Amino acid sequence: MPVTVPNVGSRVRVTTMYPNTYAYRGKYDNYVTMAREGIVINSIFKDPFYFAVETGAPDHPVSEYNAKSQHVIKIEYLTGGATSVETSNKAWKVKSGDSIYLVQRMNGKYSCTCKGFEFRRECKHIAAAAKK
Ligand SMILES: [Zn+2]
């Protein structure tokens, strides 16, 4: 099952739902939902399913999300789009200069999101990921 991960630069609204730790029966909802909106930036985590949203909120300027998490219940795209990442196959984030590329191995075949791969069907990011 592929997971949809927002592309860097997209504007999204992410809705999360967590158990309400203050809830008790009959008085409060058992779950708390929250929506945050902003521009997608690279996550600090080297995991292809993670993305970060720059919300500009003074109390919480950057929110980190795991697109695979059950707590992320909705991602709305205001601008931009997403990349489909396979969960049954392997994927790596490879940092190169100021950019981070997504290398995936599906059915034994590697792919990369960089320009070099688009033209040559091979690149140094795949070589780096294959060594891991
Ligand atoms: Zn590459």
Per-residue pLDDT of the chain (132 residues; tens, 9 = 90+): 789 999 999 999 999 998 877 666 566 677 889 999 999 999 998 888 999 999 988 888 999 999 999 899 999 999 999 999 888 778 898 988 988 899 988 777 899 999 999 999 999 999 998 887
Encoded tokens for 13: 């609204």
CA 43–ligand 1 middle distance (angstroms): 18
Residue 7 Cα, ligand 1 centroid: separation in angstroms? Answer: 16
CA of 48 to the centre of ligand 1 (A): 14
Question: Angle 61-71-56 (CA atoms, 0-180°, nearest 5)?
Answer: 10
State how far the Cα of 92 lies from the Cα of 79, in Å rounded to an integer. Answer: 25
Token pair, residue 94, equals 């490879």
Q: Cα(20) to centroid of ligand 1, in Å?
A: 42
Q: Measured in angstroms, how far is the CA atom of residue 118 from the centroid of ligand 1?
A: 8
Extract the runs of DSSP E, i.e. beta strands, from 1-132.
2-6, 11-19, 31-41, 50-54, 62-66, 72-79, 82-86, 90-96, 99-106, 109-112
Q: Cα(115) to centroid of ligand 1, in Å?
A: 7
Spatial separation of the C-alpha atoms in residues 17 and 77, rounded to whole Å: 18
Predicted confidence at residue 27, as pLDDT, reads 60
What three-state secondary structure class fits 117?
Answer: helix
CB 23 within 8 A of CB 96: no
